[in-house]
Amino acid sequence: MTTQHSKTDVILIGGGIMSATLGTLLKELSPEKTIKVFERLSQPGEESSNVWNNAGTGHSALCELNYTKEGKDGSVDITKAIKINEQFQLSKQFWAYLVRTGQLERPERFIQSVPHMSFVIGEDNVNFIKNRVASLQQNVLFEKMILSQDEEEMKSWVPLMIEGRSSDEPIALTYDETGTDVNFGALTNDLFHNLEQRGVHIQYKQEVLNISKSAKGTWIVEVKDLTTNKVSTYEADFVFIGAGGASLPLLQKTGIKESKHIGGFPVSGLFLRCTNPDIIKRHHAKVYGKAAVGAPPMSVPHLDTRFVDGQRSLLFGPFAGFSPKFLKTGSYLDLIKSVKPNNIVTMLSAGIKEMSLTKYLISQLMLSNDERMDDLRVFFPNAKNEDWEVITAGQRVQVIKDTEDTKGNLQFGTEVITSEDGTLAALLGASPGASTAVDIMFDVLQRCYGEDFKQWEAKIKEMVPSFGNKLSDNEEMYHAINKEVTKYLNVK
């Protein structure tokens, strides 16, 4: 016997940063909307959004070398770097608005200034980074970026990375003081706390089993109470599937045509975490290196200062791995169950095309602890095995989809899928992820609430003043907005 509950305007599936952001935007733009949230775990932000499950980088292309492409003539294309930086500016503006309006308290709980740095070894890479910085520095978004090859200066930024370095190979570092470390788990918690106070009903230990369309065009969501095993159904005009890695199987359940010919490939991750407080306090930066040949972009190694509950910590990684689970707390059958008649060719095509990724993942899985420490010693030559422990990071499910020309393309970005009538949206993929949650959710709103969105424009500009403009083309606007944002978020 299932219980049928009364209808709401919106159902958000999953208690991660994406649902938290969409719920908050909707409550601001259309406060009368009734919203329910279902989360299978006992708290919000416990899967990929949890602080230990991601790297907490406020992705702004201040340090990630893979966001700029080098041409054969040595030129550097900065288009993607600008796009990602602009997206993060939207997130920061929205968070600053929530602090200013008293909806988020204590921004230091979720955002801290931590310099973003890039690190390269070898002449070719040094030449690349010089060209990169020269191109980026011409844009206002990167005006604070500095490059150094001077040993004393580099030592003053990151002593652990310079001490004990014996090789003659040239190295270079860039430094940008405007970088941030974001605790997306704490932010998710605080956003849901605020939503609860505004009447949003958030139910934990509730697993969504099925989503189907009713005869009258609304969505019927079947939910299992994991404490009592009782199954209930809920009805809504609009459903957002923000279930992280588990979004794909739920999207498949809807049966909409946009859910076909899409597959998912899970990639798991490990970090090394420093256990020695004397070491932790001697490093204050997020330092990104270059990805190994054949490595997927999310495996770029980085040495990261993190802030968790006011405590500083130090992580290195991620090391990639393979697990067939779609969530860290998922099932070993997730991958196999996601193979359907409509996506089997898509998935097999990707399998054939992505042999280098498969080889890379196998090589990562085979790494011993000593070998992981050797990778760390490329960054931190004097690192000692006894000062580091291994922790498991979150699961990412990369999207595999067909394009007009080819089948089975593995994507490393995020993908918003919406139904033709705009009553359902799902978020697939993981990168650059949480940093761009506000931009992604604006996209969802634009695609699903097109008519309302035009009416909401004035309110959107109040919350996110640069919305619809490019800060990268408008120095004066950037400086004016940035002054306010840094004041409210208490960052550089």
Ligand X SMILES: Cc1cc2nc3c(=O)[nH]c(=O)nc-3n(C[C@H](O)[C@H](O)[C@H](O)COP(=O)(O)OP(=O)(O)OC[C@H]3O[C@@H](n4cnc5c(N)ncnc54)[C@H](O)[C@@H]3O)c2cc1C
Q: How far apart are CA 449 and CA 213, in angstroms?
A: 19
CA within 13 Å, CB half, 320:
25
> Where does this chain touch ligand X (CB under 6 A) — which range of 17-25, 340-348, 359-367, 473-481?
17-25
**Contact characters 36-55, ligand X, x per CB under 6 A:** --xxxx----xxxx---xxx
Least distance in angstroms from the C-beta of 468 to ligand X: 23
- 28 counts as binding ligand X under rule CB under 6 A: no
Number of residues that bind ligand X (CB under 6 A): 41
- 318 counts as binding ligand X under rule CB under 6 A: yes
Instruction: For helices 79-100 and 450-463, give the axis angle rounded to 10 degrees.
Output: 70
Nearer to ligand X, 162 or 187 (CB): 187
Least distance in angstroms from the C-beta of 278 to ligand X: 26
Nearer to ligand X, 48 or 466 (CB): 48
Q: Quick check: bond before 318 cis, omega within 30?
A: yes
Give the residue from 256, 255, 262, 267 showing the smallest Cα distance to 403.
262
Least distance in angstroms from the C-beta of 144 to ligand X: 20
Least distance in angstroms from the C-beta of 298 to ligand X: 7
Q: Which of 23, 107, 244, 289 binds ligand X (CB under 6 A)?
A: 244
Least distance in angstroms from the C-beta of 475 to ligand X: 26
- 57 counts as binding ligand X under rule CB under 6 A: yes
- 321 counts as binding ligand X under rule CB under 6 A: no
Least distance in angstroms from the C-beta of 426 to ligand X: 10
Nearer to ligand X, 207 or 484 (CB): 207
The torsion defined by the Cα of 93, 94, 100 and 105, in degrees rounded to 10, comes to -120
Q: How far apart are CA 187 and CA 177, in angstroms?
A: 22
Q: How far apart are CA 258 and CA 248, in angstroms?
A: 11
Give the residue from 175, 390, 161 showing the smallest Cα distance to 279.
161
Q: How far apart are CA 138 and CA 42, in angstroms?
A: 48
- 438 counts as binding ligand X under rule CB under 6 A: no
**Contact characters 259-298, ligand X, x per CB under 6 A:** ----------x-----------------------------
Buried b (16+ CB within 10 A) or exposed e, 248-258: bbbbbbbebee
Q: Judge whether 52 and 393 are in contact, CB under 8 Å.
A: yes
Three-class secondary structure of residue 270 per DSSP: strand
Q: Which of 99, 246, 285, 417 binds ligand X (CB under 6 A)?
A: 246
Give the residue from 313, 281, 63 showing the smallest Cα distance to 179.
63
Q: For 401, phi and psi rounded to 5 degrees?
A: -145, 165
Nearer to ligand X, 162 or 192 (CB): 192
> Where does this chain touch ligand X (CB under 6 A) — which range of 62-70, 131-139, 431-439, 467-475?
431-439
For the record, the structure tokens of 377 come out as 């010693």
Least distance in angstroms from the C-beta of 286 to ligand X: 9
- 202 counts as binding ligand X under rule CB under 6 A: no
In Å, how far from its chain's centre is CA 267?
14
Q: For 443, phi and psi rounded to 5 degrees?
A: -60, -45
Q: Judge whether 491 and 180 are in contact, CB under 8 Å.
A: yes
Nearer to ligand X, 171 or 434 (CB): 434
Q: Which of 35, 393, 400, 438 binds ligand X (CB under 6 A)?
A: 393
Q: Judge whether 118 and 131 are in contact, CB under 8 Å.
A: no
> Where does this chain touch ligand X (CB under 6 A) — which range of 61-69, 152-160, 240-248, 472-480?
240-248
Nearer to ligand X, 440 or 481 (CB): 440
- 372 counts as binding ligand X under rule CB under 6 A: no
**Contact characters 152-191, ligand X, x per CB under 6 A:** --------------------------------x-------
Three-class secondary structure of residue 103 per DSSP: coil
What is the enclosing helix (H) or strand (E) of 233? strand 231-241
- 17 counts as binding ligand X under rule CB under 6 A: yes
Q: Judge whether 441 and 453 are in contact, CB under 8 Å.
A: no
- 433 counts as binding ligand X under rule CB under 6 A: yes
Q: Which residues bind ligand X (CB under 6 A)?
A: 13-19, 38-41, 46-49, 53-57, 59, 184, 207-208, 242-244, 246, 250, 269, 318, 327, 393-394, 396, 427, 430, 432-435
